[in-house]
Amino acid sequence: MESLDLRVLGDVLAWRQAGRRVTLVTVVETWGSAPRPPGALLAVRDDGVVSGSVSGGCVEDDLIARIKAGEYDHLSHPSMVAYGVSKEEAARFGLPCGGTLRLVQEPVGDVTWVQEVLNRTASHQLVARTLTLATGAVSLREAARSDAMHFDGSTLTTLFGPRWRLLLIGAGQLSQAVAYMAQLLDFEVLVCDPREEYAATLGMQGVTRVQGMPDDVVQQLAPDAHTAIVALTHDPKLDDMALLEALNSDAFYVGALGSKRNQQVRKQRLKEHFELSDQALDRLHGPVGLAIGAKTPAEIAVSIVAQIVQVKNSVPDQGEAAKTAMPSVGIRASSCALT
């Protein structure tokens, strides 16, 4: 469900529309310390140009050489290929010791399914694609987040999800640093700030400014499980209403700038005046970011983006004890001064 997969499909579509032959390769099984997980995609054009990866090196080189040599030109249906079945071959292909990859390679003909996947994911839908190896037939269906990639030797089901997106409330210096780093991680970044004196300085390529009041914008966005929302204005009039909507949404991450004391006051305010439940308030990451002793806007941005990635990847927070032991360092001490 990574955004990189959607880029690969975008390249497949463009190459086929330009009349080029394309082979799509999918990692279906790994053993040992394989460098890319099941579901990883690689597209190889007939002239050897690639998009994506399945190993990060020598396996790609071998596939490119075979495709350029025309070894797969006769294939009309998907087929299996394995790399690293022995320690010697693993070493030859640059795989970690004992690492093994099994791949499905398919010649891409009709790209109707590619266009449909891209259209559905652009509308923030999660799509399951099933490939029948014996015939090359492809079917699509709506998927749930609990679904997983599945391969039984005859059919391969892979998931394609919408691009991860991040809505920032506030367009100040810290927001710009967070936006820059989030873009590097392939997040779609949206910024909402009705204060023209801040929004006028945004001007970042690839970042979309969303007009309106923050709470209205959150509502209109209809946050899903691929959406993170972070309030960084340090102005309760802007942050609180947006957080109210965000905490009642399906957003996978909701955070707010401010010290521990400010966060306690904020939660009390949201509970008493807006009747927000304890369960919803427990979802609020505040003070926002990992406790790394951050002081500058760039360092605080690192802590925020790192925590978003941590939650996105469902990694337990190993530093909770450290947070308790250092209540006033880094982002806690500096956040009030950064707006």
Residue (of 285, 262, 265, 284) closest to 273 by Cα position? 265
What separation in angstroms does the CA of 12 have from each of 7, 44, 118, 121, 171? Answer: 9, 9, 11, 16, 36
Q: Is 156 a residue whose pLDDT tops 70?
A: yes
Name the average pLDDT for the chain.
Answer: 86
For the CA atoms of 321, 292, 233, 238, the dihedral, rounded to the nearest 10 degrees, stands at: -20
Using CB atoms within 10 A of its CB, is residue 177 exposed (0-12), middle (13-18) or buried (19+)?
Answer: buried
Q: Which residues contact 211 (CB under 8 A, 6 or more apart)?
A: 192, 217
pLDDT of residue 330 exceeding 50: no
What per-residue confidence (pLDDT) applies to 315? 78
pLDDT, tens digit (0-9, with 9 covering 90-100), for 180-204: 999 999 899 999 999 988 887 777 8
pLDDT digits (tens, 9 = 90+) for 311-323: 998 877 655 544 4
Q: Tell me the backbone φ, ψ of residue 168, rounded to 5 degrees.
A: -105, 130
* Domain boundaries, given as residue ranges, for the chain: 3-160, 165-337
- Residue 189 has phi, psi (to 5 degrees) of -110, 125
- Give the ranges where the chain is alpha helix by DSSP (H): 3-17, 58-68, 87-92, 112-122, 173-184, 196-199, 214-221, 236-247, 260-274, 278-281, 297-312, 320-325, 331-334
Residue with tokens 């890319």: 36
CATH of domain 165-337: 3.40.50.720
- For residue 206, the tally of other CB atoms under 10 A from its CB is 9
